Amino acid sequence: MIDFLNAIVALSNFVLVPAVTYGSQLALGALGVTLIYGILRFSNFAHGDTMAFGTMVTILVTWGLQAGGVSFGPLPTALLALPFGIMACMALVLVTDRLVYRFYRDQKAKPVIFVIVSIGVMFIMNGLVRFIIGPGDQRFADGERFIISARDFKEMTGLREGLALKTTQGITVVTAVIVVALLFWFLNRTRTGKSMRAYSDNEDLALLSGINPDRVVMVTWLIVAALATVAGALYGLDKSFKPFTYFQLLLPVFAAAIVGGLGSPLGAIAGGYVIAFSEVMITYAWKKVLTYLTPEALEPDGLVQLLSTNYKFAVSFVILLIVLLFRPTGLFRGKAV
Partner 1 sequence: MKKLLTATAAAALLAGTAQADDHEVKLGIILGFTGPIESLTPHMAAGAEMAMSEVTESGKLLDGMSVMPVRADSTCIDAGAASAAAERLITSEGVKGIMGADCSGVTGAILSNVAVPNGVVMVSPSATSPALSTAEDNGLFFRTAPSDARQGEVMATILMERGMEEVALTYTNNDYGKGLADSFAKAYEDKGGTITINAAHEDGKADYSAEVGALASGGGDLLVVAGYVDQGGSGIVRSALDSGAFDTFHFPDGMIGTALEENFGDEIDGSTGQHPGTDSPGVAKFQEMVGDSFEATSPFAPESYDAAALIMMAMQAAGSVEPGDYKDHVMDVANAPGEKIYPGELGKALEIIAAGGDVDYVGATAVELIGPGESAGNYREIIFEDGKIETVKYR
Residue 97 vs 238, nearer CB to partner 1 = 238
Q: Is 177 exposed, middle or buried (0-12, 13-18, 19+ CB in 10 A)?
A: exposed
Shortest distance, position 257 Cβ to partner 1, whole Å: 20
Residues 196-235, one symbol each (x = binds partner 1 by CB under 8 A, - = not), give: ---------------------------------------x
Residue 116 vs 159, nearer CB to partner 1 = 159
| Binding segment (CB under 8 A) for partner 1, from list 64-72, 122-130, 203-211, 276-284 | 276-284
Residue 72 vs 146, nearer CB to partner 1 = 146
Calpha distance 166→260 (Å, rounded): 28
Shortest distance, position 252 Cβ to partner 1, whole Å: 11
- Using the rule CB under 8 A, is 337 a contact of partner 1? no
3-state secondary structure of 96: helix
Query: Which of 188, 190, 202, 240 is close enough to bind partner 1 by CB under 8 A?
Result: 240
CA 57 vs. chain centroid, Å, equals: 18
Calpha distance 111→96 (Å, rounded): 17
> Please, are residues 15 and 172 in contact by the beta-carbon 8 Å criterion?
no
3-state secondary structure of 305: strand
Query: Which of 142, 239, 318, 337 is close enough to bind partner 1 by CB under 8 A?
Result: 239
Which residues are within 8 A (CB) of 120 and not within 5 positions of it... i.e. 6 or more apart? 100
Size of the site for partner 1 (CB under 8 A): 41
- Using the rule CB under 8 A, is 241 a contact of partner 1? yes
Shortest distance, position 34 Cβ to partner 1, whole Å: 23
Residue 141 vs 211, nearer CB to partner 1 = 141
Calpha distance 278→266 (Å, rounded): 19
| Binding segment (CB under 8 A) for partner 1, from list 40-48, 213-221, 239-247, 261-269 | 239-247
What is the full DSSP assignment across 192-260?
Answer: HHHHHHHHHH-HHHHHHTT--HHHHHHHHHHHHHHHHHHHHHHHHHHS-B-HHHHHHHHHHHHHHHHHH
Calpha distance 43→337 (Å, rounded): 9
Query: Which of 180, 220, 252, 279 is close enough to bind partner 1 by CB under 8 A?
Result: 279
Applying the rule CB under 8 A, the residues between 100 and 159 that interact with partner 1 are 145-146, 149-151, 153-154
3-state secondary structure of 104: helix
Shortest distance, position 150 Cβ to partner 1, whole Å: 2
Q: Is 15 exposed, middle or buried (0-12, 13-18, 19+ CB in 10 A)?
A: middle
Applying the rule CB under 8 A, the residues between 2 and 31 that interact with partner 1 are 10, 13-15, 18, 22
- Using the rule CB under 8 A, is 245 a contact of partner 1? yes
Calpha distance 197→26 (Å, rounded): 23
- Using the rule CB under 8 A, is 49 a contact of partner 1? no
Calpha distance 246→236 (Å, rounded): 9
Query: Which of 104, 283, 318, 331 is close enough to bind partner 1 by CB under 8 A?
Result: 283
Applying the rule CB under 8 A, the residues between 153 and 192 that interact with partner 1 are 153-154, 162, 164, 166
Calpha distance 259→268 (Å, rounded): 8
- Using the rule CB under 8 A, is 285 a contact of partner 1? yes
* Residues forming the site for partner 1 (CB under 8 A): 10, 13-15, 18, 22, 145-146, 149-151, 153-154, 162, 164, 166, 235-236, 238-242, 244-245, 279-280, 283-289, 303-305, 308-310, 312
